[in-house]
Amino acid sequence: MRRLNKVVLVALCAVLLSSGVAMAAGKLQVVATISDLKALTEAVGGDAVDVAVLARGNQNPHDLEVRPSQMIKLRHADALVLNGLELDDWAHVAVQGSNNPRIIPGGIGLIDASRGIPVLEVPGRVDRSMGDVHPSGNPHYTLDPGMAPIITQNIADGLSRAAPDQRALFERNRRDFLARLDAAMGRWTKSFESLHGAKVVVYHADWVYFFTRFGLRQAGTIEERPGIPATPGHLVQLIRQMKDEQVKAVVCEPWSDRELAAKVAQEAGAKLALLNAKLGTVSGPEAYLLTTEANVTALIEALR
């Protein structure tokens, strides 16, 4: 009997030790609200994280419908990466439903990627007549690769709170990613040099950070006001303006009305540029670079 008890004890110790090793080797479970942040979190976290996303790449991140499946993802998350600036306020409903204290406001795992971002288009006042205007400013800063150093520092700091022993790894991954980004930024900036000041019409005002980075100008929007569908009169006026100002490109995204955007481009003698088409279709440390590369290529082709 004693021998049997000894065998059981040894076996139990082996199980506990093996489970401890498994726990030590376990990855941080992270959820990001949008695909850009998923890609940047994967770049910083590397092999130490598994990253899920709430809004798929072909979904409009402004008004996502919260589902129970998202609450389940969040329930087991060690960290949640938010865009902030009212873009993903819907995520707070999912957080409440997740019953996960790590990611509630003030929780150790809640990461606001917008901290320290120089926000553009902050309105002086906001009322309903202005449409779906964000009171804190334009929230689409992730589309500007020049903001990646700030975003990734916020992510590295947040992941380090959840896993302090991995801070050196996160910082090393971040430095390596930013080195690759710097090389790409030089190439992208040079590609836009001859197009400095070029005017672009967008479906929704997502691209002000990107345009500011590369010296482009937003000439107008297909939406009459943010989140408000275009009226025939607005479209007639916009097309006339595009012809007068020789606007060469119209930008839309996978969740926009591509047929309408294509019609506006055709009527005005411009080309349609579908941006963010690659968003969410690739994963891993290179996903952000690949998506931005595709955006740069598509827009340059349209402008030329």
185, 160, 159, 156: which is closest to 79 by C-alpha?
159
- Please give the chain's pLDDT, 304 residues, in tens: 334 343 333 333 333 333 333 333 489 999 999 999 999 999 999 999 999 999 988 898 988 899 999 999 999 999 999 999 999 999 999 999 999 999 999 999 999 999 999 999 988 776 555 556 668 899 999 999 999 999 999 999 999 999 999 999 999 999 999 999 999 999 999 999 999 999 999 999 999 999 999 999 999 999 998 878 899 999 999 999 999 999 999 999 999 999 999 999 999 999 999 999 999 898 888 999 999 999 999 999 999 8
CA gap 113, 115 in Å, rounded: 6
83, 100, 185, 182: which is closest to 140 by C-alpha?
83
E-assigned strand segments in 140-262: 199-202, 217-221, 249-252
User: How many CB atoms within 10 Å of residue 245?
Assistant: 14
C-alpha 120, offset from chain centre: 17
pLDDT value at residue 133: 63
pLDDT value at residue 118: 98
pLDDT value at residue 124: 74
pLDDT value at residue 132: 60
DSSP annotation of 27 reads P
pLDDT value at residue 7: 36
Domains of the chain, earliest start first? 26-184 (3.40.50.1980), 193-303 (3.40.50.1980)
**Predicted TM-score (pTM) of this structure:** 0.88
Phi, psi at residue 299, to the nearest 5°? -75, -40
Q: Which amino acid is at 109?
A: G
